Amino acid sequence: QQPVQSPQAVILREGEDAVINCSSSKALYSVHWYRQKHGEAPVFLMILLKGGEQKGHEKISASFNEKKQQSSLYLTASQLSYSGTYFCGTSGTSYGKLTFGQGTILTVHP
Amino acid sequence: DAMVIQNPRYQVTQFGKPVTLSCSQTLNHNVMYWYQQKSSQAPKLLFHYYDKDFNNEADTPDNFQSRRPNTSFCFLDIRSPGLGDAAMYLCATSGTGANYGYTFGSGTRLTVV
């Protein structure tokens, strides 16, 4: 079953922060986050595994609440290069096979 | 650089004319995936392989088939393309297990005329 992302779209000015959420109705083992720019392939950002952890990647970090079956992606001090569509991908097992959410379109303006 | 390469980048085919999309990888990953992505939608899994073990998603149309002759190569065959099959087709690879992110190829954009 497809995870649900919110919001569907976000518009920011450079330097502003954003949070993108991903919720599943099924128990999750892992959550992946990807960014896709228009006409390009998705690019891997990070994985969070069952156990409820938080990870950081420069100014982009994420958390995973296993009990709530939710993950959040945090983008701080946004840059123009952050623009794109962000997808979460979820798996209920330890062997991958992701189902992707519908995506969140992030637009950063100067 | 190790990577996932898809050919061709753009493919135009006629309605009903069989078409094959290819994917190769130099990452030596044993898992390969084919996703279909229509405009402004999420990627949708069609098939995946654990080594040569083929796994078909329940809702993948019979019109779609796949082959993986060796670790490095994977093919997606569309036997009789319809207008509804126009999409970006993404190949991805990963290692086995939950710790591996996907590495995607640049995709093949299929147009059916």
Strand partners, B70: none
Lowest mean pLDDT among A95-99, B10-14, B20-24, B90-94: A95-99
Residue B2 scores a pLDDT above 80: no
- Judged by CB atoms closer than 8 Å, whether chains meet at B102 and A98 is answered as yes
Q: How far apart are the first and last CA of chain B?
A: 36
Tell me the pLDDT tens digit for each residue of B49-63: 998 888 888 899 999
In the 8-state DSSP scheme, what is residue B101? P
Interface check B111 vs A, CB under 8 A:
no
Residue A39 scores a pLDDT above 80: yes
Q: Annotate B49-89 with DSSP letters as a single string.
A: EETTEEEE-TTS-TTEEEE--SSSEEEEEESS--GGG-EEE
Q: Rounded CA gap, B90 and B35, in Å?
A: 5
Nearest C-alpha in A relative to B10: A39
Nearest C-alpha in B relative to A5: B42
- Residue B72: helix, strand or coil by DSSP? coil
